[in-house]
Amino acid sequence: MQSWLLRGVRVGKSVGALMTAAIVAGVLTGAALGAGPYLISQKDREFSPGDIAIKRGETLRFFNDDGELLHHAYLSSDTFNFDSGDQQPGSKFDVIFPVLGDYMVLCGIHPKMKLIVHVTN
Ligand SMILES: [Cu+2]
Give dist(CA 103, CA 75) in Å, integer: 8
56 and 97 co-located in one domain: yes
Q: How many domains does the chain have?
A: 2
Which pLDDT score, from 0 to 100, does residue 116 have?
98
Q: What is the residue range of 10's domain?
A: 3-33
Residues 56 and 110 in one domain: yes
Q: How far is the CA of 43 from the centre of ligand 1 (A)?
A: 8
CATH number at residue 66: 2.60.40.420
pLDDT confidence of residue 25: 45
Q: How far is the CA of 113 from the centre of ligand 1 (A)?
A: 6
The model carries a pTM of: 0.71
18 with 56, same domain: the answer is: no
* CA pair distance 12, 18, nearest whole angstrom: 10
Do strands 59-63 and 38-43 pair parallel, antiparallel, or not at all (unpaired)?
A: parallel
For 102, what's the count of Cα atoms within 13 Å in the CB-facing half-sphere?
Answer: 3
Degrees to nearest 5, angle at CA 15 with 11 and 21: 145
Rounded to the nearest angstrom, the distance between the alpha carbon of 34 and the centre of ligand 1 is 28
| C-alpha 59 – ligand 1 centre gap (Å) | 20
Per-residue pLDDT of the chain (121 residues; tens, 9 = 90+): 444 444 444 444 554 454 444 444 444 444 444 568 999 999 999 999 999 999 999 999 999 999 899 999 999 999 999 999 999 999 999 999 999 999 999 999 999 999 999 999 9
| 110 vs 116: CA distance, rounded Å | 16
Q: In this structure, are 54 and 93 located in the same domain?
A: yes
Q: How far is the CA of 88 from the centre of ligand 1 (A)?
A: 10
